[in-house]
Amino acid sequence: MGAATPARYPIPLETPPGIRHRLASGLERYFEFEALGTNWRTELLAGLTTFITMAYIAFVNPSILSQTGMPIAAVAAATCFSAAVGSLLMGIVARYPIALAPGMGLNAYFTYSVVKGMGVPWQVALGAVFISGVVFLLLTVLGIRQLILAAIPAELYASVAVGVGLFISLLGLRDAGIVAPSPSTMVTIGNLRDPKTALAIAGLIGVAALLARGVKAAILIGVLGTTLLGFLTGQIQWQPHSTHLSDLSATAFRLDLAGTLHMGLLEIAFVFLFVDLFDNIGALLAVGKKAGLVDSAGRIPRVNRIFTADALATIVGSCCGTSTVTSYIESSAGVAAGGRSGVTAVVVGILFLVLLFVAPLVGVIPSFATAPALIVVGSLMMTSVREIDWDDTLVAIPAFLTVVTIPLTFSVANGLAIGFISYTLIRVFSGRYRDISWLVYALTIIFIARFLYLRG
């Protein structure tokens, strides 16, 4: 017999499972799983938790921006697409568990102040958003945003986290119906006999009990469990509607840059820029602090990538047809579920892309089901209060003002600004003015000018 015929094709050196293992190991190294003490299961769960907590924006943002005359289906598609792009950039490039989406407050300013209040066409307003995003990117490339972040006094880091925790809890209590507006006392106790409020309270107790038992998926289980109870008790009114990527054509690239410059709306672009800057910093500080991503000196690694992702997301959002995209405080929910790496944000981004096609399935989750998650996350963020030196007046009073004004003014930017101003003025008038850097002085002046401008 002759020699065996050699195989026409070489036997692969690695089996597909081996290739998959090497790919997974490479991704784990890139996202620093070992250093952060995380794993795939935790990151996937955290991403799903963050997504469910903030998925409301896919329905709330279109309802607000549609009042400008923008097609609601197009805005819904733009919301999902810009959130997906922003979150993917944050996860892959910056490698942080921070999700992005069109910001609440900024969409209200876009609609009620700029378009309806000033009579500016929505196309022109989108041009202002685009300009703010470009300027944001330039400030990042020049290193100015990083200098601003570094200039924030370390004493205010913890107070921002605590204030944001109270803010998130207030949102959750409001969504649950546990607190309600009052013309005489501003807020009061809600109608606890309301079935939806009762379901939210049941969800809150359930989440707390699961956390006490050490269940990492406690928040996610609580949201889904409360939703299921809502179904069983007939408290969920579901009106399905579909959203498709093709809907973007009604608003995509309809921004009017020439109109923005012609109407002299650069000051509007400045407001978009300013509010986004400090909302983004506030969210970054709060989420980064809770995730343990801020070092003892108050530095955040790869901060330039974080800001770049945020700026690019705003530019993409304005081109698609939505208001400013920013970092979301709700990312704290995923961090509380164990999220530490960029995989958390990547999962959120992928789910927002999926939401373009299965929006009705996510739309079934009501606000009273996500309210317990917000309340619990807020309580978890209160641990940072221990890092504030309450015996030092120079630290305690600015920290206190920051903590209370974030929820009471319904704005992270306002709270941070008031904390900054009080920090500077107290030190100046107590004779400690040499302790303050020139950039802190400059930011304080800008903050004061901001309040004067907004008041006028």
The pLDDT, as a whole number, for residue 60 is 77
The pLDDT, as a whole number, for residue 238 is 64
The pLDDT, as a whole number, for residue 286 is 73
The pLDDT, as a whole number, for residue 1 is 45
pLDDT digits (tens, 9 = 90+) for 155-188: 777 888 788 889 888 888 998 999 999 888 888 9
Where are the domains positioned within the chain?
Answer: 35-237+246-455
The pLDDT, as a whole number, for residue 167 is 85
CA 64, 243, 319, 57 dihedral sign is positive
Select from 345, 341, 310 the least CA-distant residue to 327: 310
Q: How far apart are CA 246 and CA 440, in angstroms?
A: 46
Q: What's the one-letter identity of residue 376?
A: V
- Quick check: 133 and 326 in contact, CB under 8 A? no
Q: How far apart are CA 235 and CA 369, in angstroms?
A: 11
Neighbouring CB atoms inside 10 A of 112's CB total 14
Select from 339, 370, 103, 417 the least CA-distant residue to 230: 370
- Residue ranges in the chain modelled with pLDDT below 70: 1-18, 20, 105, 149, 154, 216, 238-245, 264-267, 271, 275, 278-279, 295-299, 358-364, 453-456
> Which residues on adjacent β-strands are paired with residue 187?
181
| pTM of the complete model | 0.73
Helix (H) or strand (E) holding 64: helix 57-65
